[in-house]
Each structure stands twice: as structure tokens, then as C-alpha cells.
Structure 1
């Protein structure tokens, strides 16, 4: 039986700001963009969350919910330094660490370096080390699989520690609302509820073919996970799947010339990052969000990997031509590359590029 820990820092960016600047202690703060423009909340302190302020919320809306809210510009260098220290604490116990972001990670402590043996005890020690050495708090979930460990870490925040043992996993998942399952957003949740699927127990009533029929490939995951089956391993070296740059604009873009200018800037950022990481990708994706928050993507795949600025910007502009811009305003543009180092087996010199267009 594997022993998996999911560590999630509590209101990470905001907590670092409150630690480093005592004047923010105990006050509602939001790390992110200014409410004067198109700012978005990256992280809100727990004092702000009591008013309903959430991550990814427009800063203007956050200010309406909490008029006393203090907006703080992010200091990513500071957060990265703290994250590096946290990673060093993890490495005292195991080398099987899968970072998900700066503030959360999976740890496999089935065989820990210090021969402690108890995943629960290791989680307690890690939480205490973070508190003692960094003056920050973290929440932890402990179980035998990644899915349950991650959900458990969110159950008693802040500074929580939740253990879901093997004998309780299946009943625990049966009680979960469908919104807590991987891949279930607003649209899928609405569809599930229209089918009278409200909990894991409801999903369990369906066969695997039916789950795949209604929800696609992720249906296989639902079928297994509601039965407590989660064989995904902690990946110590996570392969980069995509590299992107995007921007939300202070003012909506209306003309194609404005959009081309912004795409040029984004393409330059992506090309620089690709060069830095020595990566090339076969698929270029354009991301676009209208002023009404409707989001679409368009992508083009190549027979051979690319990374140069000119190909990226030219392709992005070409993909933009396949977007409906009539009477539309654009608030966000993004460019990403993916399918790194993949080879198209049947491609030959002169083969046409494959163009894929979808919403």
C-alpha cells in the first residue's frame, strides 16, 4: 500500500506578504492586479476570503465584496525563494516529489529516508518544519492515492491535517459532490446533475462504457476512482507538456492591428522561453477570451518541431483569421506550444501542415 502526502500552502502569496510586511497582518489583502484596470486576484488572505473574495476573481468585483481590501502587487522572486526552501524540507524525507505549482506538491513516502514509517507523522513533521523555518502554515492530506490525498488537504484549511485510511477511501469518495472530481467544471457538473448524478455514489451506479459515452475518456477515471482505485504514481520528474504566454489587457482590443501587435509581444516571450529551456513544439495554440468572458482556442500542428519567433507569430496571426471577430471585443490573448519532441512518423518533406480548429 502506497503512502501519499499532498501538501498545500495556505493562501501562499498572501501569507508571504503578511509575514514580510507586519502592516498587512490580520487584514484582508489580495495579491494581484489593481482594481483600476483589468486586474485579477491571484491569492486572497483568509481575512478577505470571509467576504467571498476568491482566486481568479476580477479585482473590481473583489473590492465591491470587501471595500477595505488591500491590493498587493505579486513578488514572484520572494515566492520562488520560499518554494525552494519548502522543496528542501520535502527532500529530507523523500526524493519522490511531484511539484504541481510553487505552493503544492505530492510526496510518496512509502519508503522514507528517515525510516519513520508513518506518513501521518511525516506530514506532521513537514508542517512543523515549515512553520518553524518559514513562519508559514501548510495543510496536508494523507492517503494511499493522489486523488484522495489532494482532496483531504483542502478539508481543514488553514493549517489542517487530514488522513483518509484505505478502509475509508471508497465510502469517502461516494459522499463527494461531483464538483470535487477531476475534470468536472460548471458545464459538466450541470450535465451530471441533469442526469441525477450528484455524488460519487451516483457515478458508481453507471457502467464504465456509459461513463465514457456521456463524459469521454475521463469517464474511465471516474469509474475507477469511485471504487477507490488510483494507481497514478508520484512523478518526481514532470515532463513539460506546454509552454505559454498570455496577457489580459487594460482595455478591450477591437482592431486586428491591435491584436497583431499583442500577438507579436506574446510570440517573442514564448520564443525566448523555448530557447531558454531548449524546447521545440509541434503544436501552436492561440487562446482568445472575449469581453463577455467566452473563451476559445485554435491550434495548428506541424510535421516537425518549431521554436522560432517568426513561425510562432505568423501561425498565431493565421489562426486569428479563423476567429469570429465581428462585433467582438477581446480582453485576453495567449500563445502556447505543446507536443514537445514528438515525431510525426508518417511525415515526409513537403507534407502539408495539419490545421485543427475548434472551440
Structure 2
């Protein structure tokens, strides 16, 4: 019986939620991604591999086709999703902080390295693939428009959940627009691959998919690393208010232990929150009281990726990357 409602397809579909479950639990403050890696992510991965091997060996075309289409469609959807954001990264905008944070959370480290960046990118790819399986197991053969709706629905969920608060998606309209446009370019390739039920002719064979992902991963890791004599900000000043946080569209890079100058340009006292991404949950962090029309210095205690925001204000947060001296 070729139907979704069988033990093996259901097992693969449920196991596909294992990857995103790590992030949901982390941002909700339930547990950390590092702690859940072995007890959750590993068993789910093994279940999917076992189901794929068993269905292939038994000639279950219904299931093997959907797993193959979801894998390739999810990979190329992720390539499309990231390709939209690469020009924004090169322009100095700030579309990739979540991936760097994923790497630190998965690794359990409080600072970023090329290896944690690669771990974050790998986790990012795993989400793209598993979302592809969730879609393909149910929607293979449907019009590609359903794939676009799936991509947009994923972003809508990101905005309304704690993830949206954590990464400032609700506070800055430009960020939300970019995120939804990027998810269009995730959903369309996934929808087309699953609609056409083929992974050749488009140049999206498994070897081509792997090559594209490796090239994208290499670019990502190399492009993010501070180089020797990394240029430091002149005064390391972050201006807060009266209508935004500046510089609010670029990462701030400085050595660990260096002091940030936080300038409150409003006529009222503000309470900023500086949070290390290792802590994860959006309610954590250090509160910094900023007197009106004054400059406050605050030292970063250690290397890592930090988020500076003003809770209650509709302003985009600033990401601060401190590296080891």
C-alpha cells in the first residue's frame, strides 16, 4: 500500500522534526542544543537513514522517491535561500548571525571559530533538508506553489515564536522582508523538484547538490573569519535612540575585554540588555542602565557573539563579535 499512513513514512516524517526541535528547545529555554545533540538529533538521524536503507532495499518506490526528492529539493532550496542573502552580506548588512549562533550553541562554546561556523552552517543545512523531507513526504506531486507557501509558513512561524524576538525579526521591517523573500527562494526549488518528481535535467543530481553545498560552506566559513590586523572601530561607539540602534545594520567586531561605548541619545533612561548567544534564551543577559544623554562604557568579559538590544523598544538589535586577543 503506497500511502503516507504507514509506519515507515510516519517514522521518517516524525524524525525529520528532530533537527528543528533542538533550536526550538534552545530558544524556549527548555534545554541547550549541545545537550540535545546526542539524545535527540542522533537518534532521529539514524531513524531516517534506517528507513531510507530499508525502503530502498525492499523496493518501496513511494518512500524512497520522496526521501530523495526532499533531500535534493531541501538542499537546493537552502542554496537559493542563502544565495539571496550573500549580496546583502557583501554589502555590509547583517543576514547571517543566526548561523554563527547555531554553531556556538551546537558546540557548547562561548566563542566563534571556523569550526563552530562550519558546525552552524551544517546545522543550517540539516534544517533545510529536514524541512524538505517534511514537505516531500506529504506533498510530492503537488503544484510548486505549495512549496512556496511552505517556505513562507516557515518564516511566519519564525517571526511569531521566541526565535523572532531573539533575532529581532519583529522589530525591523527590512529584516522581515528580507527573510520572507529568502524563503520564497527556498520554497520554489523545493516545490519544483517535488512537483516534477525528478532530480535530473535541472542539474540537481545528488553529486551536483553536494558540490554546491560544499562550495557554499567554504565561502561561508572563509568570508566570516577576522583576518590578521582586523580593522577595529574608531571609537567602538554604539548609538542608541531616539529611533533606532546604530550601527544597526552591521556587526561590531572588537577584541575580547575591550569596552563598548553606549551612547543614549534619548532624553530618558534606557535599560539595554547585552546577551551572549551561548545563553540562548531571549530573556537572559546583563542589564545595562543608560542615563539620558550620556555615554556608558561596558566591557565584554570574554570572546563570543553578543546581542545588544533595548527590550520594549521597536529597534533592531546590534550584534557584537568579540574575538580572542
Asked whether the two chains share a fold, i.e. TM above 0.5, the reply is: no
Q: TM-score, normalised by structure 1?
A: 0.30
Which structure: greater helix fraction?
A: 2
